[in-house]
Chains A and B, each alone.
Chain A
Amino acid sequence: MTREEYLATLKSALHSLPESDIADIARDFEEHFSIGLSQGKTEHEISAELGDPATVAGTYFDEGLEDIGHTMKESAAHYASAASSAAANRSAAETSGTTGTTGSTAAVKPVSPQKDLTGARLFVILLNVLITWWVAITVISTLFSFWCVSISLLVGGIGSFTALAAAPGDWISVFVLFGLAGILLAVATGILNFFLSKWTVIGSKAYISWNKKLYNEGF
């Protein structure tokens, strides 16, 4: 069973619970999958180890869920607070160091010192402002002009053929030649442009995910 299938079955077996509780339970299992995957297990292996999702879902009802909604809302707050920056996390760690248990389960308290992300974040921001921005403009305008060349070749080629009727006798062969050459070149450059555009999109996606990783996890 894949991760998607597992989560879908689990969620549907939990459907009688409030939406937020289902989402919260699903997050626990998503975390389990992510960690398992990062340790080199496959989705199928992890699903097998977790056990039948319907049975697992049943356990939530066996264990008595009377006022579990309360706890779950709090843990939803955990996730919301975790989504905020590591800087906030660090200051939370500093304050909780003096207050100890704040009495709320929503307290974010890292056990080990947080990694300093300031350098990595500054690097990402400066890189994008100083370099990436200009590279992106250049690449996009180059691609745009390439596509313009292809389109004008195509228009020119077709234009030559449509003008054949009006062409003087001795010019017909020249017009045919222009037409064929125009269309062929348009197709050839079009193919080239297609791949260039595709690679640009792939490259951009990789760049963005690299940036995200760097921003969130540091060097």
Chain B
Amino acid sequence: MNVQFKKGVLDLCVLSMLKESDQYGYELANTLSEIIQISDGTVYPILRKLATDGMVTTYLQESQSGPPRKYYKLTGLGKKTLISLQQEWLTFSRSVNQIVGGDAQ
């Protein structure tokens, strides 16, 4: 898949994945790389940027095996941003599909 396509929606993907539960970097990287074929390493710069922008906070939690894991949690701002990004994405993707064709509405 085109790298430029992915780049714009990675923030949205990460925020969406954090909607249900807090996750640590490895989990996010694994899921994301499986679904949209990005390299695992790409997730960490995104997470850092989201933290800088106040979309997520981080906390450390002990794990049964290995070192403590850094978990990411959506902030209030993150939740609001996610909702508006979701709307934007749906509208945008619908419009693009209209032009490009394909089987979507």
User: Chain A residues in contact with chain B, CB under 8 A?
Assistant: 25, 28-32, 34-36, 38, 46, 49-53, 55-56, 59-60, 62-68, 70-72, 75, 78-79, 81-82, 86, 89, 101, 105, 107-111, 114-115, 217
Q: Are the C-beta atoms of A50 and B48 separated by less than 8 Å?
A: no
Contact A31:B26 (CB < 8 A) given known A25-B44, A56-B42, A64-B49: yes
Task: For chain B, residues 35 to 84, give those with C-beta under 8 angstroms from any C-beta of chain A.
Answer: 38-42, 44-49, 51-52, 57-62, 64-71, 75
User: Chain B residues in contact with chain A, CB under 8 A?
Assistant: 22, 24-26, 29, 33, 38-42, 44-49, 51-52, 57-62, 64-71, 75
Contact A82:B68 (CB < 8 A) given known A108-B60, A111-B61: yes
- Residues of chain B within 8 A (CB-CB) of A35 are 24, 26, 66, 69
Q: Which of A49, A60, A115 contacts B39 (CB 8 A)?
A: A49
Instruction: Report whether over half of chain B's contact residues are helix, strand or loop; otherwise say mixed.
Output: mixed
Q: Can you list the 5 inter-chain pairs with the closest CB atoms, starting with the nearest? A: A51-B39, A56-B41, A50-B41, A82-B60, A59-B45
Q: Are the C-beta atoms of B39 and A105 separated by less than 8 Å?
A: no
Contact A51:B42 (CB < 8 A) given known A28-B25, A63-B49, A70-B52: yes
| Distance to closest chain B CB from A110 (angstroms) | 5
| Distance to closest chain A CB from B3 (angstroms) | 10
Taken together as a complex, chains A and B put the C-alpha atoms of A46 and B58 apart, in Å, by 23
- Residues of chain B within 8 A (CB-CB) of A217 are 62, 64-65
Q: Are the C-beta atoms of A114 and B62 separated by less than 8 Å?
A: yes
Q: Are the C-beta atoms of A82 and B44 separated by less than 8 Å?
A: no
Contact A32:B51 (CB < 8 A) given known A49-B40, A53-B41, A110-B61: no
| Distance to closest chain A CB from B56 (angstroms) | 9
- Residues of chain B within 8 A (CB-CB) of A71 are 48, 51-52
- Residues of chain A within 8 A (CB-CB) of B51 are 71, 75, 105
Q: Are the C-beta atoms of A34 and B41 separated by less than 8 Å?
A: no
Taken together as a complex, chains A and B put the C-alpha atoms of A63 and B14 apart, in Å, by 14
| Distance to closest chain A CB from B61 (angstroms) | 5
Taken together as a complex, chains A and B put the C-alpha atoms of A50 and B41 apart, in Å, by 4
In the complex, besides A63-B49, A101-B57, 4 extra interface pairs with C-beta distance below 8 angstroms are: A28-B47, A31-B69, A110-B59, A111-B61
Q: Which of A32, A72, A89 contacts B25 (CB 8 A)?
A: A32
| Distance to closest chain B CB from A32 (angstroms) | 5
Q: Are the C-beta atoms of A108 and B66 separated by less than 8 Å?
A: no
Q: Are the C-beta atoms of A111 and B22 separated by less than 8 Å?
A: yes
Q: Are the C-beta atoms of B60 and A78 separated by less than 8 Å?
A: yes
Taken together as a complex, chains A and B put the C-alpha atoms of A111 and B70 apart, in Å, by 12
Taken together as a complex, chains A and B put the C-alpha atoms of A35 and B24 apart, in Å, by 10
